[in-house]
Structure 1
Amino acid sequence: MMCEGSPEMNKLLSCLIIYFFLFNTSIGYAQNSNLYQRIYLSGKDVSTAVDWDFMVDGGRRAGEWAKIPVPSNWELHGFGTYNYGHDHNNKDRVLGKERGFYKYEFDVPDSWKGQMVKLVFEGAMTDTEVRVNGKSAGELFQGGFYRFSFEISKLLNFGQKNRLEVVVAKHSANASVNRAEREADYWIFGGIYRPVYLEVLPKIHFERIAVNPHADGKFEAIVLLNDYLNGGVLEVELFELESKKTLGTLQVPVKEKEINIQGEFVGIQSWNPESPKLYEAVFRLKDNKQALFEKSERIGFRTVELREQDGIYVNGKRVIFKGVNRHSFYPNSGRALSDVNHLEDILLMKEMNMNAVRMSHYPPDERFLDLCDSLGLFVLNEVAGWQQGYDTLIGPKVIKATVWKDANHPSVIIWDHGNEGGWDFQNEKWFHHYDIQKRPVIYPWLIRNGVDTHHYFHYNAGVQRLTHGQTPFFPTEFMHGLYDGGHGAGLEDYWRDFMRNPVSSGGFLWVFADEAVVRTDRDGQLDADGNHAPDGILGPYKEKEGSFYTIKNIWSPIQISPLVINRHFDGNIWIENQYIYSSLKNCQLEWSFHQIRDFDSMDKLDEGKISLPDILPGEKKMVKLPISTQNMQADFIKLTAYDRNGNELYSWSRAIPDATAFAARFKSTGIPKADMTVVNEKNDRLHIKAGKMEFEFDLIDGQLKRVVKNGKDLSFKDGPIPVGVASHVEKVKWEMDNEGNIIIRNQYSSFPKNSLWKVKPDGALYFEADGPLLNGQLLDYLGFSFGYPEEKVIGVKWIGNGPYRVWRNRQKGVEFGLWEKAYNNTITGYSYDNLVYPEFKGYHANIYAMQLITEEGKIQFVSESPGMYFKLYNPENSPFATNGVRPEMPLGDISFLHQISPIGNKFAGPETMGPTGNKIRAISHSGDQAFAIKLLITFED
């Protein structure tokens, strides 16, 4: 959670202030009866909810009249029954089918007489009956994710209190609605969860405005009047959103209820996610030069095309979707959301360098699309139907409701007709019937209508489809993110494979955040229904998992080509522009050089910032950093790319010296020198006393069995144990060299051929093992493990890549530096009572040095070997983990490794997710000089 006053929250609040300004300038609340007016009976969002009288007829608190905030989901306020969508198949779960009864009184002023008043519901789950002053407002509305309204002018008592009564049935009387919405893979809630308001309108007004503003400035609109008007003029005036400068006016005479208006505005800027330019279009209905009605629409000029065997084009540019699926959800409020919730989600998507979002699996709140328009995200807007669809009675109604509500948003560029079988093809025609823009209509997981959106396919799958086909493809779900696998893991493999095909249009990750709800029936426990809902890149309260940074790295629109940085680095860097629309002119690259003095301090030696040249989308150019030879004496360089608005896109850091050179400076122990080493061999044990240290080695298996410092036993022992291959010690011998070092040499049956322990007179301990000279074995991981009890660990500091753990198939998103974290036992997607990130346990890449902080002091490891990994304990698995997210892990507590294992996803193992998920085949020849594992181990106070 972000704290008040943090940079993230300040940014959030700044954007929200801007948003409120834009929103309130486009929807008027003026007293002028010719202007569109909206009067809220509920809160505008969940944060401003208004209490209504409420009673539920089943589940918790059944039959008890109380107060409930509107909007809200009643389960989150102690009423009714919690259900996940799969509960209908679970005989052990009670399927709540309660109804909620609402009452609310509101004033209607006399001044509204003669005007038309509509009662509008933005969303209620699921069948809704409405009565005003005891009389029915209209027919039952069925469908839980859609706007619906009633004309109630004749039911009102002007100048008096009016009584609103609403009955909401959680389950529908229509079986197809239940199949489409209530038997889905997400939480099933009840209640009026989106705002309720009155629209106060003159007798003649706009029933609907539908716009089609093209990227080149051409403009067309269809305006539907609620009644016939004899004569008159429809006028559309376009304004700059901020300055209110007029950009021209179009007019057309009114002859029918449905009015078509066309024209062109000169000098406009088109809308795209990189430059989300918006305008205000003011629609006026005039008669004899007198305004009868006026309403504003925020619009963006852009053109969407689906080009067969080519791709999705917006404004003439082929789109690569870097997207994610997003549920409308927050743990404390279910699907009843605030503007802050919407804004936080979008800013996090933008922070991950995403340019698109898919609505899963239903249309979103009005406010969310407003923000996508203003902040810049492509949107795939979806009519509900998880794996079963609406019938031909309900389907056309909810399609109409979706298109009428959302069609004017420039961010919405595609309609999704359900999900994974959740459709009736007969209903498709209604999208284009109602949509003036004729956006593409897709079927998520089908190859249909000129695009391929197949879900969760194995790497390299498909005959004449996906990366092997000619049909534009963008999987609307891939890289399933259950627990810590499936998002960043394998993404680089998939993305490289996608990008080699010119018809690739990107894809959408599943899913944005864990959908764990607060159980008010379980003392506030967070519940993700086993492994059904913990599949996000973020935790339920938007905690950032490791994959967050992997995605941010891989999808950064500014990329730095792979390069080796060392003392000879001349400052030349290749920069690639992966934007769709934007040049890198006015973007910046910041550089800084850092020196690590010890585990507690680091110095910044130099820094600077350069403006990037005019690199066009798809281009790659070399830039030169103004660095000196003195800079190259630093330990690492950090490079940060910023977009033209000063937002960080990604920060890379690279070590300058290799591990060997770094160790030569860093491995000084500070231990007083000792002149004498005492050795005693007894019962196949070798006892060594050096300075303040005592060690005991087993002369049968070569393992360290005991460590004593100042007469006190320490718990580091039981290693080295080879992991990754079957290998055992065949011979152990020891000797003292001319410098007084005690050397214990081990010979193995397989890996390694040889290892040695060296006990120095000052008490430092040195370990070395031959490199991986194997031939033909398939490996998940390879290295050595040692023992240290987990319960005695306090934390860790290390120099290497961090701060998050890695998997073999997820190594992007961690960068070189000095890192620190306290011990935690976070089980990603499960231990919601104590989610601490970064997780403590697991693999860490590119170790230079590591200090394990324990109750017994500090155990320090300095590596002299490049490219090594270390592992701190094995992450615990959720009891609901599938085999794909139970990666193979080496035995032992602390491991130092040449190679680490990958992780899979919910549905399959890592071998299905690309080359980096496969086992590695070892190869060698006689005479190879492989990198050895070399560690200096000291025991600090």
Structure 2
Amino acid sequence: MRFLSSILLIFTALLATAARGASPIETSRHYLSGTDKDSDVRWDFMCTSGRNSGKWTKIKVPSCWETQGFGTYYYGWEEPENSTETGHYRHRFRAAKEWRGKSVSIVFEGSMTDTEVRINGKKAGATHEGGFYRFSYDISGLLDYGKTNTLEVSVKKCPANPSVYRAERQTDFWMFGGIYRPVYIEVKPTAHIESIAVDARADGSLSVRPYVNGCDDGQVSVYVESIDGKRISDTATGPTDSTISLRVPSASPWSQENPTLYRVVAELGKDGRTLHRVSEKTGFRTIEYRESDGFYLNGERIIFKGVNRHCFWPESGRTLSRRISLDDALLIKEMNMNAVRMSHYPPDKEFLEICDSVGLLVIDELCGWQKKYDTPTARRLARAVVERDRNHPSVIMWANGNEGGWNTDADADYAVYDLQKRPVIHPWERFNGTDTKHYPDYNYVVNSSIYDYDIYFPTEFMHGNFDGGAAASLSDFWEAMMKHRAPAGGFLWALLDEGLVRNDHHDSIDCRGSLAPDGIVGPYREKEASFYAIRDIWSPVKIASRKASDRLAVENHFMFTDLAQCRFTYRLTDLSMRPDGHFEEKTAYEGTAAAPSTKPGECRIIDLGLPSDWHKHDVLHLDVAGPDGRSIYTFSAPIDNAGHLQRRLGTASHRQAISLSEDSAHVYIRQGECTYTFDKATAMLAGVQTANGTISLCGGPAVATSANTPKGLNHYKSGDSYIVEPQFEEGQWLRWVFSPDEHPRLDYTFSVEGETDYIGIGFDYPEEKIEGMEWIGRGPYRVWKNRMEGTGFGCHSKRYNNTVTGESWDYPEFKGYHADCRAVTVNTAEGDISLIPSRPGLFFQMLNPQRAKADNNAGTYPSAPGTSIGFMHAIPPIGTRFQKPEQLGPAGQKNMQLNWTPISGSIHFIFHSK
């Protein structure tokens, strides 16, 4: 909370400063549009084709006109014939008398795509081409000062320049039209500083290059302030065409772990008068590219733990708000990521400001999805990107297009306008000493680690289509990537499912089939299982042991932070099951532990200081908070792994009378108030009768990996117990035990030879009668063999849903495998069913996930058992949109039972009347 509060405080201060207005020697800004998607500023508008076309009406600005009910929706290369609409805008505004004699510009933060601007009927300049870039016109000579002026804007959704069309519109993302980012007037003195380029280094050295208009013989003075306005440096002065240098010894270095910001102030003066003042927020940090080694921040190696992000919101397309940008940045930080790639175009400027403030490393990118701009366009737009974004400390690298969409004629231009000379990359290509190959197989990573010398960091990998990719096999990949001689991490694809609310289709959410449900979070930022798994895998604090202990080995994976700056909080909890089958977890002790000084890269033992009887409790929970108070890692583990908990839960509270009867077709066992019916023909459980009716559990036990059918059913009495045994050929043994002192128990043994997707035992139960589940184990999210991370041990519950990851977003998904299940109660319309396995480490199968309607990928829908519920000893892995699981590393392989060792276990059953 302290972290979020500090960020909100910064932005509140900025808004307050803006509200006070600018002094006469500062630039003033006057919005003609709203500032974001939530503003309700409306202009006159007419769309030439598609929905609501051919008539003048009103539209919110900024907005994508499709989301406002105009024109035609389409996705990337799917452009329909009638989508070449033009939007005509008209807006009237008053130009203040005080603006006369000053430099007045109209600025568009972003408009899709070809944009022609007229003021009072006269063109402001050449038609702008390029949908993702800031552009402006000097309109000083076109205004009627002190009067109402007319702004007319024509925006063509389909660009006339074929290279712009190919670079921006033949793509794998939604297409929009309109003025989708804010529009405003900027007023400056005639002699003014147009912009400054800043290079602030970690050692406190500062260089500033001013770009001045209207005053060649003046001087520019530069000094540095803290964010709260206190001057912390001397003043350095130089000619208007010079680079001005000074030192700020007291400046704290900026990093993603300590994003300290300052304000660089530049003043244009002449003859003792200050003519104009500008300022830029920035941070003091040093980025280094070391050939065949890596990237370094302030002298420490950078390992990118990154993700690709598009600017997108389901109801407003590419028109966002500062709140959305902040929430996205905080989501990225919550996953313990430190970097974000601005695929496949530069973002809203607010997002970069937030990255500066919260501490995220940014790859800023020129559009060009797979085709490039022509050379004049590429060079003009590359300059626009650099001039807007060059002073952000978060921006550490430029990407000149994507996957072939780079015009190499523009590669050298970035350094012309960037005083810091940041590296330039071609995402996907081996270029400039880097290998950024997209979607490598595991074997590619291993071979690169053995043989290659280029800096390795895939700018897209682990494609997160539906429930695949993202965290699945990330642990294996990461381990292999860190063995590279020049590692730099990587960027997952992608942050969010781009599901668009279609107001032409009853407000349904459209992810365009399998093309856009690629996210770690949903359209409204609903967290998938991979979100929490990534958080674990990329945590800067690691506990290697999976076992509970009062002394734990803790590894420091920060870049700069000592673990002594973190806060460790523990809880000891007790587990129980009530007679009605509901589970409870109660906190017995809680406390904090002081971590010893542990530098980055070190491992130390932390003594939690648990009470002497800690081992008598059931679960150890440990939460680690970073220096900013934000939780960065959670550890939870059962204290007992010897089965004592299961035996305690499986013991009957009182002795129960048992009797057996049969007819020609069935065997009946009555224990307490329940009667268990076995079919002699199938040797399977056929149903259970309780005091209140039938519970339809049947069709089992079925061995998930075997087609071996029983050849008969045997039953007999053994002491006070009754035994029911299906008869099999060799290699399989099942036995039901009904004993007065315990709940009914199923014992099983079977063998598995060769590779298999899953290993286990299960039953059938009607899905339509299942209402929910409660369990003791890891949860609440399901797991796959190659995505075990991201769950916590304890009591969990969830209600039934039929969520299909990437097509619906009611998370966590109900169906699937649940790890280390020690006991489970299935809530049904007929009565609850509790199942308690005898051994730890099993996976409870709750139904089989439904396949996405649009899922035609080989890797994102693993095969499933034919049973409804059961316990699995091994489960399948999941792949990605482009890769089968076995291409993703060791955990992606099929299951092989060790040395053909027989699989054995027991399960207690308790049936609760409704």
Which interval holds the TM-score relative to the shorter structure?
A: over 0.9
Question: What corresponds to 2:624 in structure 1?
Answer: 641
Query: SS of the residue aligned with 2:326?
Result: helix
1:59 is the counterpart of 2:39: no
1:429 maps to which residue?
412
SS at match of 2:59: strand
> Conserved in 1, the CA contact under 8 Å of 2:477 and 2:888?
yes
- 1:794 aligns to what? 771
- The match for 2:905 is 933
CA distance in 2, matches of 1:878, 1:563: 34
- 3-state DSSP class of the match of 1:140? coil
SS at match of 1:495: helix
Tell me what 2:7 maps to.
15
* Pair 1:476-2:459 in alignment: yes
Could you say what secondary structure the match of 1:607 adopts?
Answer: strand
Shift of 1:883: 2.0
Where 1:623 maps in the other structure, the secondary structure is strand
Counterpart CA distance in 2 for 1:586 and 1:17 is 23
CA–CA distance in structure 2, aligned partners of residues 923 and 818 of structure 1:
31
Residues 82, 563 of structure 1: alpha-carbon distance in 2 compared, 3 angstrom cutoff? closer
Instruction: Provide the residue aligned with 1:903 in structure 2.
Output: 878
Question: For residues 94 and 738 of structure 1, what CA distance do their matches in structure 2 show?
Answer: 81
Which residue is equivalent to 1:3? Answer: none
Pair 1:491 & 2:474 matched: yes
Give, in angstroms, the shift of residue 762 of structure 1.
7.8
Instruction: Give the Cα–Cα distance (whole angstroms) in 2 for the partners of residues 292 and 854 of structure 1.
Output: 77
Q: Alpha-carbon deviation of 1:667?
A: 2.0
The TM-score normalised by the length of structure 2 is: 0.97
Distance in 1 (alpha carbons) for counterparts of 2:300 and 2:5? 33
Structure 1 equivalent of residue 238 of structure 2? 252
* Residue number in structure 2 paired with 1:152: 139
Query: Matches of residues 126-525 of structure 1 in structure 2 within 5 Å?
Result: 126-230=113-217, 232-242=218-228, 244-254=230-240, 258-461=241-444, 465=448, 468-525=451-508
In structure 2, C-alpha distance between the alignment counterparts of 1:314 and 1:471, rounded to whole Å: 18
Please say if residues 537 and 548 of structure 1, whose CA atoms lie closer than 8 Å, have aligned partners that are also in contact. Answer: yes
Q: Which amino acid aligns with 2:906?
A: K
**Amino acid paired to 2:555:** E
In 2: Cα distance, 1:312 partner to 1:79 partner: 46
What's the offset of the Cα at 1:680? 1.7
Number of aligned pairs? 908
Distance 1:277 1:865, change over 3 A: same
Query: Against the structure 1 CA distance between its residues 748 and 414, is the aligned structure 2 distance closer, same or farther, given a 3 Å change threshold?
Result: farther
TM-score, normalising length from structure 1?
A: 0.94
| Secondary structure of 1:702's aligned partner | coil
**In the superposition, relative to structure 1, how do residues 86 and 24 fare at CA in structure 2: closer, same or farther (>3 Å)?**
farther
Distance of 1:864 and 1:277 partners within structure 2: 54
1:495-894 matched pairs, under 5 angstroms? 495-565=478-548, 569=549, 571-598=550-577, 599-658=582-641, 660-670=643-653, 673-683=655-665, 685-710=666-691, 712-730=693-711, 732-739=713-720, 741-749=721-729, 753-761=732-740, 764-770=743-749, 773-774=751-752, 776-831=753-808, 835-881=809-855, 882-894=857-869
Question: How far apart are the structure 1 equivalents of 2:16 and 2:452?
Answer: 47
* Structure 1 residues 40 and 697, CA gap change in structure 2 (3 angstroms): same
Report Cα offsets for 1:731-775 as digits up to 9, x if no partner. Answer: 542211111x22122344465x311112335894210112x544x
Q: Which residue of 2 aligns with 1:921?
A: 896
| Counterpart for residue 887 of structure 2 | 912
Give the secondary-structure state (helix, strand or coil) at the position aligned to 2:834: strand
Structure 1 stretch displaced more, 346-355 or 264-273: 264-273
1:678 Cα offset (Å): 2.9
Output one character per residue of 1:338-361: Cα deviation in whole Å (capped at 9) or x when no partner.
111000000111110010000010
Q: In 2 relative to 1, CA 524–224 (structure 1 residues): closer, same or farther, beyond 3 Å?
A: same
Amino acid across the alignment from 2:226 = E
432-441 or 459-468, which deviates more = 459-468
- Matches of 2:461 and 2:873, distance apart in 1: 30
* Equivalent residue runs for 1:6-45 within 5 Å: 15-22=7-14, 25=17, 30-45=21-36
Q: Which residue of 1 aligns with 2:85?
A: 98
Mapped contact 2:547–2:638 kept (Cα < 8 A): no
What SS does the aligned partner of 2:234 have? strand
CA shift in 2, pair 1:762/1:705, >3 Å: farther
Worse-matched range after superposition: 801-810 or 696-705? 696-705
Residue by residue, what CA displacement relative to the aligned partner does 1:869-902 show, whole Å, maximum 9, x if unpaired? 1111100011111121110111110021110111
Contact 2:369–2:405 (Cα < 8 Å) also in 1 = yes
Is the 2:382–2:413 contact (alpha carbons within 8 Å) kept by the matching residues of 1?
yes
- Match of 2:320, SS state, is coil
1:112–1:848 Cα change, 3 Å: same
Q: CA deviation at 1:488?
A: 1.3
Q: Distance in 2 between matches of 1:790 and 1:94?
A: 45
Counterpart CA distance in 2 for 1:259 and 1:727 is: 85
* Distance (whole Å) between structure 1 residues aligned to residue 61 and residue 6 of structure 2: 26
Gaps of 5+ in 1: 1-6
- Identify the match of residue 96 of structure 2 among 74, 95, 109: 109
The residue identity in structure 2 corresponding to 1:705 is A
Alpha-carbon distance in structure 1 between the residues aligned to 2:766 and 2:446: 51
Aligned partners of 2:885 and 2:893 also within 8 Å: yes
Local SS of the residue matching 1:811: coil
In the superposition, relative to structure 1, how do residues 424 and 601 fare at CA in structure 2: closer, same or farther (>3 Å)?
Answer: same
Measure, in 2, the Cα distance between the counterparts of 1:660 and 1:274.
42
Mapped to 1, the partners of 2:692 and 2:163 lie a distance apart of 75
For the Cα contact (< 8 Å) 1:127–1:143, is it kept in 2?
Answer: yes
Q: Equivalents in 1 of 2:683, 2:180: separation in Å?
A: 66
- How far residue 432 of structure 1 moved from its aligned partner, in angstroms, is 1.4
TM-align CA RMSD: 1.8
Equivalent-residue separation in structure 2 for 1:466 and 1:417 (angstroms):
26
Tell me, yes or no, if structure 1 residue 82 matches structure 2 residue 59.
no
Amino acid at match of 1:18: I
Deviations 1:137-192 (A, max 9, x none): 00011000000000000000000001100001001000010101011100000000
1:49 and 1:124 map into 2 onto residues whose CA distance is 18
Residue 399 (structure 1) shift: 0.3
* Identity %, equivalent residues: 41
Kept in 2, the 8 Å contact 1:866–1:931? The answer is no
Q: CA deviation at 1:710?
A: 2.5
In structure 1, C-alpha distance between the alignment counterparts of 2:476 and 2:718, rounded to whole Å? 49
Q: Which moved more, 1:858-867 or 1:143-152?
A: 858-867
Counterpart AA for 1:886: Y
Pick aligned residue for 1:122 from 106, 109, 119:
109
Report deviation, 1:490.
0.7
Corresponding letter in the other structure for 1:934: S
Alpha-carbon deviation of 1:48? 2.3
Q: Secondary structure at the match of 1:461?
A: helix
**CA displacement 1:922-941 (0-9 Å, x = unmatched):** 2337xx6x662211001012
- Distance 1:467-1:278 versus aligned 2 partners, 3 A rule: farther
**How far did residue 556 of structure 1 move?**
0.7
In structure 2, give the amino acid aligned to 1:614.
S
Q: Deviations over 1:413-438 (max 9, x none)?
A: 00011111111212212111221111
- Cα distance, 1:243 vs structure 2: 5.2
